[in-house]
């Protein structure tokens, strides 16, 4: 699949070019040459909603497999706009730069794991972690920026995630609560973004303004706390989208120095992946070759660094209380709410795990740790709200359900103009032969939920969440 031309003339700082020339030596000209080519574009299939095989049967795009992930594909951005297709609004895929798919693909998530994504916004990696969990275990997705965490929440809800908490806290606040708590932790660390230079000149300007030392300090502050939260026997993934040894090999060395029980394990590599470089570290640790470097002149992607670290024993590094169990308070349903939930034909959640807070209902999964006093954007699956003796189901519940899990469903084909009308928040009329009951209807595209409407004699009053609507 051809790459597009980059019409923007990139001006690189001399100090950056000097360092990259020293790093790459004979490959330097290949690297500089690749910057004149356009970015690669990718989508990642949401396997929590649809298998890769089934998606390829219905895909409206010509796709080409990305070698380092089973559910990632290149697409031609000159030919397709995946963000405008109804399947995007159904949460069937996430639009993601191809090399950025690497971290979540190589972190070996098992069903039932307790997982932390500590620098999670906007959600590309969290959504894949959630898909791997398959609504088992628990995912804590955190971003210190509250505004960015809101985008993270939307993406997790779009993907149909229920077993989650979305948090906005600094790492030290989390480590006080979650001592030796997580089976898996992903640290996609803030970085100088050298792998994103092809995206725009503004990324280069940001590099000049901030440099690598600022981000190396941030990374090490995060690592100081993350190591305390990893269970003995647990695995951590550290990644950046930069090429700087200070932020990569040297940050990994710093992490290993925090705890003698930590050891590097091999990152699975495909053709084009480089090893980490011990000579670029401060200690010459030969184990750094187990890390992976992705360079844009060697792969069809922008660039990444990935390291896998396992915690062998408990060093008893934590101070303060461990998280403990969530103090669950079950909700006794009223008649109206119970009537709605009787229409759900799902064993995906136990109605005995529903909690009420100020008229809003949440499903709290059984394994949820104690998250009290944390700055929460969402804890559990938001089910809906009780208003004036009626229950209004949430957008997140619609995305969580399968089309065969609700009694009253209407499904339109992707090329039906009514799908677009629905996504834009307009009223939709049913055909005469569509026998749909009055009341709440789960609206789907080709059998995949989009949201709610309320049917009144063949006219669907649109309940699609206003902040999610298609704007053009």
Please count the residues of the chain. Answer: 472
CA distance linking residue 359 with residue 431, whole number of Å: 36
Residue 416, classed as helix, strand or coil, is coil
Establish whether 191 is a catalytic residue.
no
* Angle of CA points 200, 37, 188, to nearest 5°: 50
Helices first, then strands: H and E counts in the chain: 13, 23
Element (H, E) at 131: helix 124-133
Element (H, E) at 125: helix 124-133
Among residues 241, 249, 237, 227, the alpha carbon closest in space to that of 126 is found at: 237
Among residues 422, 427, 471, 430, the alpha carbon closest in space to that of 451 is found at: 422
CA distance linking residue 198 with residue 204, whole number of Å: 9
310 to each of 222, 228, 270, 369, how far by Cα in Å?
17, 13, 21, 22
* Strands in 277-431 per DSSP E: 292-294, 304-311, 354-357, 360-363, 376-379, 381-387, 390-393, 409-412, 428-429
7-12, Cβ contacts within 8 angstroms, sequence gap of 24 or more? 8/200, 8/201, 10/35, 10/36, 10/197, 10/198, 10/201, 10/204, 11/201, 11/204, 12/197, 12/204
Sign for the CA dihedral angle at 296, 299, 302, 304 comes to: negative
CA distance linking residue 134 with residue 48, whole number of Å: 6
Q: Which of 119, 191, 241, 291 is catalytic?
A: 241
Looking up tokens 């049913």, which residue turns up? 430
Buried b (16+ CB within 10 A) or exposed e, 62-97: ebeebebbebbbbbebeebebeebbbbbbbbbbebb
Measured distance between the N- and C-terminal CA atoms of the chain, rounded to whole angstroms: 28
Tokens representing residue 457 in the block: 């004699």
CA distance linking residue 76 with residue 68, whole number of Å: 19
Active-site positions read: 241
């Amino acid at each position: 699949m051809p790459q597009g031309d980059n019409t923007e003339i990139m001006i690189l700082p001399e100090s950056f070019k000097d360092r990259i020339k020293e790093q790459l030596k004979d490959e330097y000209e290949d690297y500089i040459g690749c910057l004149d080519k356009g970015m690669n574009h990718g989508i990642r299939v949401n396997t929590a909603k649809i298998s890769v095989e089934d998606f390829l049967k219905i895909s409206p795009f010509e796709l080409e497999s990305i070698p380092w992930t089973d559910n990632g594909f290149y697409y031609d951005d000159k030919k397709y706009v995946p963000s405008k297709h109804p399947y995007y609004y159904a949460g069937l895929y996430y639009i993601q730069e191809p090399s950025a798919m690497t971290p979540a693909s190589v972190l070996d998530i098992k069903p039932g794991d307790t997982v932390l994504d500590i620098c999670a916004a906007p959600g590309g990696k969290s959504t894949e972690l959630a898909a791997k969990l398959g609504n088992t275990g628990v995912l804590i997705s955190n971003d210190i920026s509250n505004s960015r965490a809101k985008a993270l929440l939307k993406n997790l809800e779009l993907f149909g995630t229920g077993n989650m908490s979305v948090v906005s806290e600094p790492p030290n606040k989390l480590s006080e609560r979650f001592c030796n708590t997580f089976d898996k932790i992903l640290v996609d660390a803030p970085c100088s973004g050298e792998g994103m230079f092809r995206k725009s000149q503004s990324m280069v300007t940001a590099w000049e303004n901030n440099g690598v030392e600022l981000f190396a300090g941030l990374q090490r502050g995060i690592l100081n706390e993350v190591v305390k939260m990893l269970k003995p026997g647990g695995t951590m993934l550290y990644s950046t989208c930069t090429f700087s040894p200070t932020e990569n090999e040297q940050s990994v060395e710093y992490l290993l120095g925090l705890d003698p029980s930590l050891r590097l394990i091999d990152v699975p590599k495909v053709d084009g992946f480089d090893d980490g470089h011990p000579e670029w570290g401060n200690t010459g640790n030969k184990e750094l070759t187990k890390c992976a470097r992705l360079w844009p002149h060697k792969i069809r992607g922008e660039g990444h660094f990935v390291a896998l670290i396992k915690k062998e024993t408990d060093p008893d590094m934590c101070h303060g209380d461990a998280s403990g169990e969530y103090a669950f308070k079950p909700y006794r349903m009223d008649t109206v709410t119970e009537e709605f939930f009787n229409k759900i034909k799902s064993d995906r959640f136990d109605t005995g795990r529903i909690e009420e807070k100020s008229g809003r209902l949440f499903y709290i999964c059984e394994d949820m740790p104690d998250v009290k006093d944390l700055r929460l954007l969402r804890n559990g699956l938001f089910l809906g709200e009780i208003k004036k003796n009626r229950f209004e189901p949430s957008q997140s519940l619609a995305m969580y359900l399968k089309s065969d899990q609700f009694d009253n469903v209407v499904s339109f084909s992707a090329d039906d103009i009514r799908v677009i009308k629905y996504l834009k928040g307009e009223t939709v009329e049913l055909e005469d032969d569509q026998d749909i009951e009055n009341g709440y209807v789960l609206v789907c595209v080709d059998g995949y939920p989009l949201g709610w409407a309320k049917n009144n004699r063949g006219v669907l009053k649109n309940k699609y969440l206003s902040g999610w609507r298609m704007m053009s």
